[in-house]
A = this chain, B = another copy of it.
Amino acid sequence: MHNYFFHDVDLRPVGEKVYVQSEHGEPVPMRRIRLTDTPACFGGAKNPDFYLSDVTGPYGETDAPESIELPKRDRPEPGTGTQLARARRGEVTPEMSFVATRENANIEGFRASLEACGNDKLANRLRPILDRLIPWTGELVRQKIADRTAVIPASFCHPELEPTVIGRHFTTKVNANFGTSSSSKDWREEGRKLQEALARGADTVMDLSTGKSIIETREMILRASPVPVGTVPLYETLERAGGDPLDMNWEIFRETMEDQAKAGVDYMTIHAGLLMPHVELTRGRLTGIVSRGGGMMARWMRSYKRENFLYEHFDEILDIAEHYDITLSLGDGLRSGSIYDGNDAAQFAELKTLGELNRRAGARNVQVMIEGPGHIPMPGVELNRVKEADLCDDAPFYTLGPLVTDIGAGYDHITAAIGGAMIGAAGTAMLCYVTPKEHLGLPNSKDVREGMVAFKLAAHAADVARGVPGAIIRDHLMSHARFEFRWADQFALALDPARAREFHDETLPGAAAQKAHFCSMCGPKFCPMKLAHDLFDDED
C-alpha cells in the first residue's frame, strides 16, 4: 500500500469538515465556516454558519492520519446499467442522491443558521435570494441525467469516488490536468499535484501521463483520488504501440481502453469525431492541430488514407463505455491553437460529428460530455456554446479556456480564465484549468495552485452570472465581512484562504491587525468604508 499523503500540502484550509446525509443515507462532505460576530461598534450581531462543497476527501479531515487509504463505496458490478440507463428507467441511484446533496452545499443548514442567529439586517438582504432557491433532490438530478444535459462520471470500478454532477443546471465545475511525461517520470510528484488540486477545489482531475510511468501513475491517481478521474486512452495506446502513431490500431486501443476501464477511470477523452474531410479543412490553418490526440489520429489517417479507427469502431467503444459506465468526453481534436484558427470550418465540422456521436451514445445509454476550445477572441467565445448546444443537444460542454489572445505566455491561466468565465456564464458545464506554464512547459505543483484558483474564480464568476444562489450569497457574506473588517471571515470565504491571509499579513502582521478597521492599502485615516459606516448614524 502506497502512502499517498503529502504533508507539505495542507488540505485543511479553513473551517471544519462536516457531513450531510444524502437521501440514500450516505455522508456527503462539506466544509463549515463559522462566521464571527459583527464587532460591537457596528452593532455586535451574530452571523450564520456557511457551508462550502468539499472535494478534499480524507486528506481534508481535521485530524488526517499519517497514511490514508480511501474508503470504498459499495458499487454494483460492471454491466448493471449506467447512470443514464437507470435514470431513464426512473431509478434514483445513490450517486444521484449524493450529488444532489453535494450541489446544495447545505444551503438549508445555512438558512436555518441565518434565521437562528437573529441578524435581521443580513437576513433581510439574503432572504430574497434564498427564496428563489429550489434545492436539488435525487429525482431532480435524475431528470437532468435522463435528458442528457448532465452526467455523473462514476465508473463501476472506482469505489474510492465521491461522485459529482456536470451539467449547465449545476454549479460550474473545474478540472485539473497533470501527469508524468518523458521528461518528468516521478509519480510521487503527480500525487503532490493531485493534492494541490484538491486543496484548491478541483471537481475532477485528468491523468494525461505519457511515457514509461503511465500505468503506475494512473493507478496511484485512481486509488488516491476522491474525485472523478479522466484519461485520454490514446496516449497509452501510443506508448503500447512503441511510440510511433502509425503503429497504433484499433486492437491496441480496445485493450488499452478496457484495461483503463477496469482500473476505474471515470471518464475518457475519445477523439472519434475527427474525420478525414475535417483534417483536410486544416490546410490553411496558422497552427495546424494542437490537440495531442487529434495530432496523432490525423497523422495516422493521412498516412494510411483510412478513416479514424475510433470513428469506425465507435459502437465497440460504446460497448466498453456502457459496460463500465465510462462517461465519454468527445474530444475536439481540431480545437483552435491560435485566435487566427478560432471558430473555423474545421473546428465546427468536427463539432457537428461530435453531435452525431453524442446521439449514438445516447441510444446506448452512454453518458457524454463535449469538449471545446481553445484559442478564441472574445467576440467569438459565446458562439461556441451556442453551436455546441445546438449541434450536440445541450450535452455538458467542457472547454479548455478558451484563451482570448495568443500572447499571454507565462500568464495564460489569466488569458484562459477570461474566456472561461465568459463561456461559463454562457452555460458551459466544466472548465479545464490552464496553468501559467501553458505553451511553455509541464506545470509543477505551484503552477497547479495558480491555475486552479484562477479557474475556481472564473467558474464562480460564471455561477454568479448564472444566478446560482449559493455563489451569490458567498459573495455577499464576503462583502459583509469586508465592510465590518472581519478579516478572519474574509480569509475563510476567499478562494484561497492561505494566500489571502499571507498577503494581508505581509504589511500588517500580528493579532491586532486581524481586528483593525483598515488595511495597509488606505491606512487608518483614509479607509472609505470606515468613513462610510457612521454616515447615517445621526438619524438612527
Contact = CB atoms under 8 A, between A and B. Distances in A.
Interface of A: 125, 181-184, 210-211, 235, 238, 243, 245, 279, 282-283, 286-292, 294-296, 298-299, 302, 337-340, 375, 377-379, 404-411, 413-415, 417-418, 421-422, 425, 436-442, 444, 453-454, 457-458, 460-462, 464-465, 472, 474-476, 478-480, 482-483, 490-491, 493-496, 499-500, 502-504, 506-508, 519-533, 535-536, 538
The 4 closest A-B pairs by CB, nearest first: A295-B528, A288-B532, A338-B479, A410-B499
Nearest to A338: B479
Contact of A290 (B238, B407, B422, B529): B529
Nearest to A472: B339
A464 B478 CA distance: 34
B289 A531 contact: yes
Contacts of A462: 378
Classify the interface of chain A: helix, strand, loop or mixed: helix
A380 to B, nearest CB: 9
A529 B441 contact: no
A299 B439 contact: no
A423 B30 CA distance: 36
A411 B526 contact: no
Given A461-B404, A482-B406, A299 B531 contact: yes
B288 A500 contact: no
B441 A507 contact: yes
Nearest to A455: B414
Contact of A475 (B279, B298, B340, B474): B340
Nearest to A499: B410
5 contacts: A211-B523, A289-B531, A295-B528, A439-B519, A441-B506
Q: How many copies does the complex hold?
A: 2
A525 B235 CA distance: 11
A70 B526 CA distance: 33
Contacts of A527: 292, 295
A482 B338 contact: yes
Contact of A508 (B406, B415, B418, B441): B441
Given A295-B532, A378-B425, 17 more contacts: A183-B508, A210-B523, A238-B525, A292-B527, A295-B529, A338-B482, A339-B479, A377-B464, A378-B421, A378-B461, A378-B462, A407-B457, A408-B495, A414-B457, A436-B503, A440-B519, A441-B503
B526 A442 contact: no
B405 A294 contact: no
A479 B522 contact: no
Given A337-B479, A409-B494, A414-B414, A378 B440 contact: no
A139 B286 CA distance: 37
A521 B405 contact: no
A539 to B, nearest CB: 10
A83 B75 CA distance: 75
A92 B291 CA distance: 52
A451 to B, nearest CB: 11
Contacts of A519: 439-441
A528 B292 contact: yes
Nearest to A239: B525
Contacts of A441: 503-504, 506-508, 519-521
Contact of A520 (B183, B483, B503, B536): B183
A50 to B, nearest CB: 11
Contacts of A415: 457, 461
